Structure 1
């Protein structure tokens, strides 16, 4: 069912993906009952010792449920920041005991790595941790979304730099 859902959403996005070479806003794909969609993003700045991570959670009808922002300590490149944001979202959603989730990120490298790319860098160590966490869910999809579909999560991740509390 998860694969069919993913394929239906992908076809809907491709059908309206561009007009005259310009990206269109990504369409919402209605989820089956009991599923949630989690848009995630990270913001990395070279002048900070942390990255901003965020996630926005919506139900099967697209209604807002929760949002979370946090700082993740450490200097890291964008790809490590994006996969750390996924890890934070997985751990948070796991606490809520939701077992059927779609995690959307605008970092295609992260999606590809979760679906089978392996290596020996710090990035892949975090990917392996994410894959282990995913095993605690009933059904999970990690999918790529254009930045326009992830805009709220992107803005929230950037907002962590204006937070006064570093936690």
Structure 2
């Protein structure tokens, strides 16, 4: 009922202030679009690990971050790392996923959905293509982890739903090295993500 009233109020305001009217079908599509752009809880029994990388070209460094939440959206653990190496964007995004996977294996997580906002990397992981580049070798390494952990999944999400991991990746530059957070880091806002 609250949603219906909010929609009526919003439609009225759009009509009065913007001279636009939204019909019920358009409003339903807007709500669907908003849901897609919000972090979605994993199914029961799984945790979700959002992963992202960030790049500082002037320093030749790459930072990455990951954040794990349970099926209720509660914070479980997070981490950051920095590498002083000139990886390209795809290699950096793949390296972030690989490190997050290794950390989950080491900590005994067995049912994990990894989400990245790098569609090319996620597509490479789910494809059967093989190559000999550094990027292809990283992808092969990730695929090996997936074979050994059949309840690990890798999915693409839009950047808007991956902002927690993005924030952690950017904060990696202010950390001396690899950091693990067992409490919600102050620099990360989990609300609404």
Task: Report deviation, 1:30.
Answer: 4.3
Task: Report deviation, 1:138.
Answer: 3.4
Gaps of 5+ in 1: 1-14
SS in 2 for 1:119: coil
Distance 1:74 1:30 in 2: 33
Which of residues 68, 74, 77 in structure 1 aligns to 2:88?
77
Q: Give the match for residue 101 of structure 1.
A: 112
Q: Give the match for residue 43 of structure 1.
A: 54
Cα separation, partners in 2 of 1:137 and 1:57, compared to 1, 3 Å: same
Distance 2:166 2:110 in 1: 24
Moved over 4 A (4+): none
Distance 1:121 1:115 in 2: 17
Q: Give the match for residue 79 of structure 2.
A: 68
Q: Which stretch shows the higher mean deviation, 23-32 or 107-116?
A: 23-32
Give the TM-score normalised by the residue count of structure 2. 0.70
The structure having more radius of gyration, on CA atoms, is: 2
Q: Give the match for residue 153 of structure 1.
A: 165
Q: Give the match for residue 162 of structure 1.
A: 174
Give the TM-score normalised by the residue count of structure 1. 0.81
Q: Give the match for residue 16 of structure 1.
A: 32
Cα separation, partners in 2 of 1:27 and 1:56, compared to 1, 3 Å: closer
Distance 1:52 1:27 in 2: 22
Which of residues 110, 113, 116 in structure 1 aligns to 2:124?
113
Cα RMSD over matched residues?
2.1
Q: Give the match for residue 185 of structure 2.
A: none
